[in-house]
Chain A
Amino acid sequence: HSVLTQPRSVSGSPGQSVTISCSGTGSDVGAYPYVSWYQEHPGRSPKLIIYGVNKRPSGVPARFSGSQSDNTASLTISGLQAEDEALYYCSSYAGTYTYVFGNGTQVTVL
């Protein structure tokens, strides 16, 4: 059911940076400034970490950042930490009060 395409996994050593891409279309990612990113640890509910493409909610570390170019959004984790190991999902508003998610990316801290 995933509409947005993410890499299945990315990995990095502590302190390194990793970037996750989220590829959509001109009907979702490319059409609205409403891409958000969610972090999911096993057994926990997803947590919002980026919204509106590049905004961080209060309490989310500054090492998480978002960007977008045309139909592709990206999440960068700078200065990777052990607790960042989790699943990450992008989501985009797709018009008419509908939304789509990406297939999810497993981030592994080596």
Chain B
Amino acid sequence: QVQLVQSGAEVKKPGSSVKVSCKASGGTFDTHAINWVRQAPGQGLEWVGGIIPMFGTSTSAQSLLGRVTLTADESTTTTFLELSGLTVEDTAVYYCTTVARFGDGWDHKFDPWGQGTRVIVSS
């Protein structure tokens, strides 16, 4: 079973960028895609984006207007979410979670989840 450990909380100024990491253990990048989901205070879950480390390909939510950069370091089994042009609306807990390979495709279920990284954007 894959386990995910995320980096610690961040406090950022509006207009700056934040980079959050997610280290996977107990599995391999060959069999998982890493996705990011965020939850603003008192709000619901929002899919941010995902990366297939084996291929280096990524997708992200259109609502984030190209501010998301997803990368992966296979040597350390760590993926990174970088969000630029931060606004107070980006204040949220950011979770990484996995989608596993299933046959020739993917199982399209988020399991397991990391512990979450709190990002606070404040002037």
Footprint of B on A, CB under 8 Å? Answer: 1-2, 32, 34, 36, 38, 40, 45-48, 51-52, 57, 89, 91, 93, 96-104
CA distance A36 to B47 in the complex (A): 13
- Say if the beta carbon of B107 comes within 8 Å of chain A: yes
Which residues of B from 57 to 76 have beta carbons under 8 Å from A? 57, 59, 61, 63
In the complex, the answer to whether B111 meets A51 with C-beta atoms within 8 Å is yes
Footprint of A on B, CB under 8 Å? Answer: 33, 35, 37, 44-47, 50, 52, 57, 59, 61, 63, 95, 97, 107-116
In the complex, the answer to whether B116 meets A45 with C-beta atoms within 8 Å is yes
Question: Min CB distance, B21 to chain A, in Å?
Answer: 16
Give the nearest-CB partner of B51 in chain A. Answer: A97
CA distance A98 to B48 in the complex (A): 9
Jot down 5 A-B pairs with beta carbons below 8 A, ordered by A. Answer: A34-B109, A52-B109, A97-B33, A101-B44, A101-B47
Q: Which residues does chain A contribute within 8 Å of B45, judged by CB atoms?
A: 38, 40, 46, 89, 91, 101, 104
In the complex, the answer to whether A36 meets B59 with C-beta atoms within 8 Å is no
Q: Which residues does chain B contribute within 8 Å of A51, judged by CB atoms?
A: 107-109, 111
Q: Which residues does chain B contribute within 8 Å of A38, judged by CB atoms?
A: 45, 110
Q: Which residues does chain A contribute within 8 Å of B107, judged by CB atoms?
A: 51-52
In the complex, the answer to whether B44 meets A89 with C-beta atoms within 8 Å is yes
Q: Which residues does chain B contribute within 8 Å of A34, judged by CB atoms?
A: 108-109
Given contacts A45-B113, A96-B59, contact A36 B108 (CB under 8 A): yes
In the complex, the answer to whether B115 meets A46 with C-beta atoms within 8 Å is no
The one of A57, A96, A98 in contact with B47, judged by C-beta atoms closer than 8 angstroms, is A98
